[in-house]
Chain A
Amino acid sequence: AQSVTQLDSQVPVFEEAPVELRCNYSSSVSVYLFWYVQYPNQGLQLLLKYLSGSTLVESINGFEAEFNKSQTSFHLRKPSVHISDTAEYFCAVSAPGRDDKIIFGKGTRLHILP
């Protein structure tokens, strides 16, 4: 079975500063990895995903994540955050070729400080 650990429940960061949200996964098989974002009072939206190929994946709003198999990590980064990035971010994992389920971490709340 797969599992996901998000090491920080909350991350405060000043506007225009860089940020890293940490995610580690556990799996005995190969994985697909995801970051979902949940803005206040909204549903979950897919931010980016790693399925195969390049280990560095990017979103349209400046976030990127790197799949590191040796460290079983998929940390999310942004070089300069904006107030609009205030949200909860969920790391998630699924197993290709197996059931169609995605397992979510507990989430990291990103607080942007003015």
Chain B
Amino acid sequence: EAGVAQSPRYKIIEKRQSVAFWCNPISGHATLYWYQQILGQGPKLLIQFQNNGVVDDSQLPKDRFSAERLKGVDSTLKIQPAKLEDSAVYLCASSLVGRGNYGYTFGSGTRLTVV
């Protein structure tokens, strides 16, 4: 089966600019996650979707970050305006409903550098 697809792989922007990341999960996986991985730290969950509904966005900085999954398949994560501390790898993962805690599949990530 095809894996989780993410684009772009790399992005460099200046602070205060906006940026968007795209994720296409594994076909049939209704649950989708966005994680932020800052250098030297473990991945931190930003938001979890089930189909097109948000399950948990408690750690999403909502003043600048937004995410959507309009048709319950692809998802986009947006940062506006970006700050230097947003430099990180943004990872998307997906799982079958109710199976996420058995382990999920990650995409290759988008490495964001804010200068």
Contact = CB atoms under 8 A, between A and B. Distances in A.
For this complex, into which size category does the number of interface residues on chain B fall? 20 to 34
Most buried by B among A9, A34, A43: A43
Nearest to A98: B101
A114 B99 CA distance: 41
B55 interface: yes
Interface of B is mostly: mixed
A43 B93 CA distance: 10
Contacts of B93: 44
Given A32-B101, A99-B101, A100-B98, A106 B56 contact: no
Contacts of B41: 106-107
B48 A101 contact: yes
A12 interface: no
Given A99-B56, A100-B95, A101-B56, A46 B103 contact: yes
B43 interface: yes
3 smallest CB-CB distances across A and B, nearest first, come from A100-B100, A94-B101, A104-B42
Interface of A: 4, 6, 9, 32, 34, 36, 42-46, 49, 51, 90, 92, 94-96, 98-107
28 contacts: A4-B42, A32-B101, A32-B103, A42-B108, A43-B4, A43-B91, A43-B108, A44-B91, A44-B93, A49-B103, A94-B100, A94-B101, A96-B101, A98-B101, A99-B48, A100-B31, A100-B97, A100-B98, A100-B99, A101-B48, A102-B100, A102-B104, A103-B45, A104-B42, A104-B43, A106-B42, A107-B40, A107-B41
